[in-house]
Amino acid sequence: MLAFKKDETLVRDNNDLVVELRSVSKLYGDTAAVADISLKALRGELLCLLGPSGCGKTTTLRMVAGFVDPSSGSIHINNVDMTHQPPYRRDTGMVFQSYALFPHMTVAENVAFGLENLRWPREKRETRVAEMLKLVELPHLAQRLPSQLSGGQQQRIALARALAMKPAVLLLDEPFSNLDAQLRVRMREELQEVVRSVNVTTLFVTHDQEEALTMSDRIVVMNAGKVEQIGTPGEIYETPETPFVANFIGWCSLLTGVVDDTGAFRSTAGLRIKGDWKAGPATVVIRPEQVKLSADGAAGQSQQARVLHSHYLGGATRVVLDINGERLTMQERLPFGRHPKSGDVLDVTISTDSLRVIPINEGHAS
């Protein structure tokens, strides 16, 4: 596994730096699609660009690929400035959202397309195509046309074509968006296995938080053309640096209020949570797993909550609660048949062990 320091630098030497963006911006008229972003991707790393539609993540990916020219800043691949180089000189392979397979070519011909452009000898080309089809476990489909493939098979062929030329960087633009939910889960597991096996640095774009959390070594959370936070999935989920990051990754309740001189937080609606935080205006991030049914003997620690909604999810029950005028979500595995109904009153405890408090005036978490 890759090991990261707190400042998100890999504990290895600079020879492992594969992609670097230095203060890159992209303007369309007066509108900044990407605004002064800097990031690094390291050898063998899966780096995810995550954010809502219009945040600049696809524009960033296309600038790395060479399809879009940055307005300022520089892009380096393997420590070489590629800012103004055309796509075919960047040593990248790209899987497009639509897969972009040539409909009149067979699977084998699609995989071989880039190799032909590089004038690989026929025998060497055929050997490489066979290797790639074996890698994605589709050698038996070599002579089929794309129209004869399922969506998942097309995705794997597009991946095989991108990897055939042994790129330094693999670029994936929403690679699972055209797949149904179950196939999407299976395909992201298979893609992880493939890119890990060839140890290729991978940048992929998604707006799906679960994809980002389960696939990435690190996540770049973007919003309105800017980077909000870069970190491992655990850091992004457990220690978000801004309310946007907290709210965009997973379920949470954001309570605004003030930390008083005793270190306790009081929300604007009056909910008080005991703690030992720095005094001042703050936002508290409360995840569903931090709200629990009070255990016996927890007198003085629990709070009364009124059930607004209850949703049975199979492995757990998600309960939306009103606590002193604040709306919180609890998710727990409850005994069979014990599912709260709207209007029920429960005793719950908010766990403060890992509660995240973000000072409003400082713009970063304590």
For the stretch 166-178, pLDDT in tens is: 899 999 988 777 6
Q: What token pair was written down for 242?
A: 């801004």
pLDDT of residue 217: 94
Q: What token pair was written down for 169?
A: 């960087």
Domain 14-244 identical in fold to domain 252-359: no
Q: Which of 62, 109, 106 lies closest to 87, judged by CA? A: 62
Q: Which residue has the tokens 């298979």?
A: 190
DSSP-assigned beta bridge partners for residue 273: 265
Q: Which of 269, 308, 323, 316 lies closest to 289, judged by CA? A: 316
pLDDT of residue 136: 85
3-state secondary structure of 153: helix
Distance separating the N- and C-terminal Cα atoms of the chain: 28
Element (H, E) at 308: strand 303-312
**How confident is the prediction for the chain on average, in pLDDT?**
87
pLDDT of residue 176: 78
In CATH, the architecture of 252-359 is Beta Barrel (2.40)
pLDDT of residue 36: 95
pLDDT of residue 364: 45
Homologous superfamily of domain range 14-244? P-loop containing nucleotide triphosphate hydrolases (3.40.50.300)
Return all residues near 315 (Cβ < 8 A) that are at least 6 apart.
Answer: 333
pLDDT of residue 3: 42
For the chain, residues with pLDDT lower than 50 are 1-12, 297-300, 363-366
pLDDT of residue 57: 94
pLDDT of residue 362: 52
Q: Which of 267, 213, 223 lies closest to 46, judged by CA? A: 213
pTM above 0.75, yes or no: yes
Residue boundaries of the structural domains of the chain: 14-244, 252-359
pLDDT of residue 12: 45
Q: Which residue has the tokens 């907290």?
A: 246
